[in-house]
Amino acid sequence: MTLDWWTAPFEAEVVTRALVAGVVAACLCALVGCWIVLRGSVFLGEAMTHGMLPGVAVAALLGVSLMVGGMIAALAMAVGIAAIGRSSKLSSDTSIGLLLVGMLALGVIIVSRSQGFAVDLTGFLFGDVFAVRAADLVVLAGALAVTAAAAALGHRAFVAVTFDPRKATTLGLRPQLAISALTVLMAVAMVASFHVVGTLLVLGLLVAPPATALAWARSIPTVMVLAAMIGSAAVYLGLLLSWHAGTAGGATIAGVAVLIFFVSTLVRQLANATMLKRTAVAALSLGVAVGCASDGASSPPVQSLGAGEDEVVVEGARELDGALTRLVLVDPETGDTAVYDAIDEAETRVGSFGAVDEIAGDGRFAYLRTGQSTTIIDAGAWTFDHGDHYHYFASDIGEVGRLDAAVTSVGASNSTVVVETDGGAVRLLDREELGRRSVEAPVGLNIGDDVVAAVPYGTRVVTVARTGRLQVVDGSGATDLAGDCPDPSWSRPTRRAVVFGCGTGAVRITGGAGDLTVTAMPFPPDAPPERPQRIQHRDRADVFAGVSDGTVWVLDSRQRAWTVIPAPGAVAANTGGDGTVLVLHRDGTLSLFDVDSRTETARVPLFPGAVPAAGPQPVVDIDSDRAYVNNAAEQVVYEVDYADGLRIARTLHTEVAPGLMVETGR
């Protein structure tokens, strides 16, 4: 190809004007599309583009501005989706789909009443980049200026509401206003750009360049700049191909933008993976495309409760768009128990159950040890792991029932709960039956009397006998594993593995539907002799933390590495698996340690005085956003943003003295 092939089309004024319009539209779409992709609002964006049709059609028939009509219709679509979502039991996807079809149908009906409107409809749907006028350039430039100013002024609020709505609330950033502003910016970008690529294809410029940029950049401003460059390149190449091949300009631009995304993805995989890893990624991508009914080979099998491939239906529960955070709080002296909703800051009393010695949780249910029996409480919020993504549910809060055993620790999958008791015995419970307020053993799943530790792994259970023998148990019986765990002390499930604490260190069990692999993780040879008996971690995470006398132990089971950090006066510890560990000290301060360097990077005063040595000790419960520390004496729970220098986001005042606490919902 000669240089003339690359430049000749732009000697025509109409093509040059199309290039300028396309580049401005690409920059505009980059600013807005970044938030669409990060917030997962692609389907909403698609619905708004289709929802513009009735407004544009009415505006055309009345002889007024098409952009004004399209803006009104797009905003009406967004308001309607929000209203239906708040006032019905329908999911957001359902309400979006219904309004999308309804608005599109209404637009076609209006168009059909006007003879000779088909050409205008085609231009509306697919765009006519070569018909861009000077007035359209002015509108595009104005929309870009307004959007850039709004993005700069609202950047902090947009980041907070995208990644952590709770943080937006606690910082006073008015998340609902920020969401409304983002919706308006989406409408502005769509209305200003549909002359270039049409409403059916504008989503290509809104989504494809930011999605491509996210694979190569980390900060949001960098993503926006890179997305603008990618979008501009798509406009140039699309116009070039359209000129030489005689294809539709808008469709070619959108197609090139999507093609760049797939080429970028392929280059990224080739650069970062071996051939074996690339094969695994391809297989996983194929599995995701087929649907949720097919799990990845590296994942434990997950039981589906619904009939559809991407549907999980739980009787008596409602599905949510995101996870709830609820804290089960117990006064150990009286047994007064409440469930505290950390989102709404509302406390629901459950009852009083007498003196409670200990509490354990499995992400939904709390297990209150009262003497030689256990009371089970349903916190009414939980996360369902569906293999490659999650579903979030809420139901009524209440007492489930009692178990005639003193529970010391709990592990759960979607279908099975394993409880370890004070006497060394292990019991299995049907988790679905617990949701129906019935305490029953699962059908067809039995473990031996010599089992002293166990963890559910998908639909199976991995067990440890008194002798240290490891087995996996399913409906057909027990199978020995190649490894052992002498003197088991703790057990935890992660999303991809099962981990047991042993007298010699720990073992990690992984594998898919076939054979399981046991990997030993021995203690460091120079480690202190006193070992942690209790280990904490963020649910489903692979990194653990525990406390012994003056020492914090961190186990990264992915790297099979222990790290021992000196921490005199440590009371409790936990980690989110991000390379740091939170430590609560006897003097009432909370500190943050970098695990690799074993150095303290932050410390804040938390308790007004020292942590009492008598009675149940406070815990550090942690999720992907916040850490929660209970202070029974002050009747408060501290919410800590551990990713922001241990900033105390909120102090939650409780009616029940929270001597015992466990987090659910996440």
Ordered structural domains, the chain, with CATH:
3-200 (1.10.3470.10), 526-666 (2.130.10.10)
Q: What is the spatial distance between Cα 146 and Cα 209, in angstroms, rounded to a whole number?
A: 21
430: Cβ–Cβ under 8 A, 6 or more apart, which residues?
415, 416, 417, 440, 441, 442, 443
Give residue-wise pLDDT tens across range 633-656: 999 999 998 888 888 888 899 999
Interacting residues of 573 by C-beta distance below 8 A, sequence separation 6+: 536, 545, 546, 547, 552, 567, 581, 582, 583, 584, 620
Model pLDDT, residue 528? 86
pLDDT digits (tens, 9 = 90+) for 192-251: 776 665 655 677 788 889 888 887 876 788 889 999 999 889 888 988 888 888 787 777
Structural contact between residues 397 and 380, judged by C-beta atoms closer than 8 angstroms: yes
Q: Is the distance from CB of 337 to CB of 318 less than 8 angstroms?
A: no
Rounded Cα distance between 127 and 148, Å, is 24
pLDDT score, position 295:
40
pLDDT score at 581: 94
pLDDT of residue 218: 63
What number of other Cβ atoms are within 10 A of residue 533's Cβ?
Answer: 11
Q: Quick one: DSSP state of residue 219?
A: S
The string over 415-452, giving b where at least 16 C-beta atoms fall within 10 Å of a residue's C-beta and e elsewhere, is bbbbbbbeeeebbbbbbbbbbeeebeebeebebeeebb
Q: What is the pLDDT of residue 287?
A: 43
Which mean pLDDT values do the consecutive 10-residue runs of the chain (666 residues) have?
A: 75 81 86 83 73 76 73 76 58 70 78 56 59 76 88 80 62 68 80 65 80 80 89 88 80 85 83 47 41 39 41 73 88 95 88 94 93 94 80 91 92 90 89 92 88 90 94 90 92 89 93 84 89 82 90 92 93 88 95 93 92 91 90 94 86 94 90
Structure tokens belonging to residue 95 = 């309400």
